[in-house]
Homo-oligomer: A and B are copies of this chain.
Amino acid sequence: MVADRLSTTFAALADPTRRAILGRLSRGETSVMELAKPFKMSLPAISKHLKVLERAKLIVRSREAQWRPCRLHPEPLKDIAQWIEHYRRFWEESFDRLEVYLEQLQAREKKDARNK
């Protein structure tokens, strides 16, 4: 079964090392050697993670330069952001309810203070 595109993106993001690699690439393109440095991992292990990110189209590896720099490819992240947007009202609603509750609490405390 071919996984759908959103599932492939979510699966690629379900790993802290892969998210850290994207974080590094958000500061600019770099080589595999440079990417591997902050991790206590072998180059083959890092290469495996890069392949997952590449298949998910979250990174692009240049074929021009011999050091084949990796670059962030943000489009799949945009698709996820759009998917998640549908749910924004749910967490904002619960925040609104908390705010209303805090305002009521404050009003009650003021009233209590006046009645003392």
CB under 8 Å from chain B, chain A span 51-98: 72, 74-75, 77-78, 80-81, 83-88, 90-91, 94
Residue in B closest to A93 when the chains form the complex, CB atoms: B74
Q: Which residues in window 5-29 of A have CB below 8 A to B?
A: 6-8, 10-11, 13-16, 19, 22-23, 26
Q: Contact: B7 with A16, CB < 8 Å?
A: yes
Give how many copies assemble into the complex.
2
Q: Is the CB of B81 within 8 A of A88?
A: yes
CB-CB under 8 A from A6, the residues of chain B are 13, 16, 19
Where the two chains meet, the residues of A that have a C-beta atom closer than 8 Å to any C-beta of B are 3-4, 6-8, 10-11, 13-16, 19, 22-23, 26, 72, 74-75, 77-78, 80-81, 83-88, 90-91, 94
